[in-house]
């Protein structure tokens, strides 16, 4: 089942299932075993497909990406987090920070795993039993803060600006993706392919990541795990390719679909 989350014309949030004919039908229930109604969804615009509790991210989880960034292949998963406020919906803008100006904003196409129930100390053999489904994410990164100038080394600062975690367009349930570590993944900027790989290239596969992250730690229902990006990121190009206003980013993962987001300058507002 391909589940979408959306806002209707009255401003209310609903879930729907996109059927084989491409039409979305409202879900009567989106918890447990979802039930599909015969009512077509009235979509004002899509939201991120799940309401998240936590966003874990894995760095350097593709060997070629470690090589292109001149990093050693890690012995254990490199873990950092993004704030929930960084979440962005499909087709909505990635905003280039203005108040804390960043000129080296980069893309990272990733497969995201959605945890379906609270779990702790999970074995890799049972890990996929706790997965609700899979979606696409973009781990947008301000390299000035992540790397070597401004406040270099601050991963969370670099990756947690508003709109820096686009996710969607749908969550595909596990019955439709039996082997998450064998999916093609591509990232396009303005139609030009930047990343072209397969999730089989992960250093630490998804069962291992769930076992590792859940060790002595409760993973809450609604936790997203961004599983790392393959080679081809903008900062590794010669010359580097960083995001600019009017760009369009599209990430495609086999059996899930495409996550599209335009790029704009931040609208500087005070709340």
Residue 30 has pLDDT above 70, yes or no: no
Say if residue 225's pLDDT is above 90: yes
C-alpha to C-alpha distance for 136 and 158, rounded to whole angstroms: 20
Percent of the chain with pLDDT over 90: 86
pTM for this prediction: 0.95
Decide: helix, strand or coil at residue 259: strand
pLDDT tops 90 at residue 70:
no
Least confident of 72-76, 110-114, 161-165, 239-243: 72-76
For the ranges 31-45, 106-120, 243-257, which has the lowest average pLDDT?
Answer: 31-45
Q: How confident is the model at residue 266 (pLDDT cuts 50, 70, 90)?
A: very high
Averaged pLDDT, 143-172:
88
Q: Return the pLDDT at 154.
A: 84
Q: Which residues pair with 46 in a beta bridge?
A: 6
Burial-class residue 38 by CB neighbours within 10 Å (0-12, 13-18, 19+): exposed
Burial state string for 112-146 with b = 16 or more CB within 10 A and e = fewer than 16: bbbbbeebeebeeeebbebbbbbbbbbbbbbbbbb
Instruction: For domain 48-265, give its CATH number from 3.90.850.10, 3.40.50.10300, 3.40.50.2300, 1.20.1050.90.
Output: 3.90.850.10
CB atoms within 10 A of CB 172: 23
- Confidence class for position 174, pLDDT limits 50, 70, 90: very high
> Of 64, 103, 106, 87, nearest to 168 (Cα)?
87
| CA separation, residue 92 to residues 57, 74, 87, 195, 205 (Å) | 21, 34, 11, 21, 30
**What H or E segment, with its residue span, contains residue 143?**
helix 143-146
Q: How confident is the model at residue 271 (pLDDT cuts 50, 70, 90)?
A: low
In order of 36, 72, 135, 211, 250, the CA distances from 216 in angstroms are 37, 27, 26, 10, 36
pLDDT > 80? residue 152: no
> Structure tokens of 217?
């730690």
């Amino acid at each position: 089942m391909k589940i979408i989350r959306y806002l209707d014309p009255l401003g209310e949030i609903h879930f729907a299932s996109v059927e084989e004919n491409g039409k979305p039908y409202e879900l009567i229930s989106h918890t447990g075993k979802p039930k599909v109604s015969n009512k077509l969804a009235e979509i004002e615009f899509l939201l991120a497909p799940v309401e998240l509790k936590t966003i874990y991210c894995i760095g350097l989880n593709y060997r070629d990406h470690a090589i292109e960034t001149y990093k050693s292949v890690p012995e254990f998963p490199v873990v950092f987090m993004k704030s929930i406020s960084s979440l962005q919906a499909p087709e909505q803008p990635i905003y280039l920070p203005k108040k804390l100006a960043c000129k080296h904003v980069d893309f990272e196409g990733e497969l995201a795993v959605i945890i379906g129930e609270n779990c702790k100390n999970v074995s890799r053999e049972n890990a996929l039993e706790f997965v609700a489904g899979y979606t696409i994410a973009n781990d947008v990164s301000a390299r000035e803060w992540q790397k070597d100038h401004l406040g270099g080394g601050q991963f969370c600062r670099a990756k947690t600006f508003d709109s820096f975690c686009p996710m969607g367009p749908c969550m595909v349930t596990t019955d439709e993706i039996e082997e998450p570590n064998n999916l093609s993944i591509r990232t396009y900027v303005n139609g030009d392919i930047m990343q072209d790989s397969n999730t089989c290239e992960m250093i630490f596969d998804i069962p291992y990541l769930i076992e590792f992250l859940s060790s002595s730690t409760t993973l809450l229902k609604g936790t997203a795990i961004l599983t790392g990006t393959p080679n081809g990121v903008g900062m590794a190009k010669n010359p580097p390719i960083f995001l600019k206003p009017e760009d369009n980013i599209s990430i495609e993962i086999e059996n899930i679909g495409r996550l599209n987001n335009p790029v704009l300058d931040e609208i500087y507002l005070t709340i």
